[in-house]
Amino acid sequence: MRQSLHSSRDHGVENILDSLASLDVDSVLAHLSDDARLSFGRSRIAHGKPAIRKVLIRTLGLLDSLHCVPVAIWTANTVAVVELDVAFERADGGGLIVPATMVLRFSGHAVSDVTICAYVSAMPVGLRKTVARERVPAPSAAAC
């Protein structure tokens, strides 16, 4: 069950999580500034909507469903930090619930920076390979 959200920033967080859950790339991009950045784990940072579109198409395309359930949300000024459980099902029927943290930086009402950290070792092989393709070496098993 999604917790009750109170501030306008919290509603912005809820809206982007709902867009991600819809697996609709254009819906997600609608929340981002034109010069936004996306960092997913140790993957190369995607700069701008065209680069982010490619990452989202590749990643969300592996999934049949995605549910982002906030555990806690902290907001201050232009930043929101979300602790969440991400439940997803793959096209082959497999799926998991993965703990994650998302940091959103806002510029006005648009999101200008998204950083997502999840535990890659708990992800299905196909998604793990997608993330690993552009991975920078890091000492931990976590994707952040």
HEC string for the chain: CCCCCCCHHHHHHHHHHHHHHHCCHHHHHCCEEEEEEEEECCCCCEEHHHHHHHHHHHHHCCEEEEEEEEEEEEEECCEEEEEEEEEEEECCCCEEEEEEEEEEEEECCEEEEEEEEECHHHCCHHHHHHHHCCCCCCCCCCCC
What pLDDT score does 107 carry?
93
The domains of the chain, with CATH numbers, are: 8-132 (3.10.450.50)
Q: What is the pTM of this model?
A: 0.76
For the chain (length 144 residues), average pLDDT per consecutive 10? 49 89 95 95 90 93 89 92 89 83 93 87 52 37 44
Q: What is the predicted pLDDT for the residue at 30?
A: 96
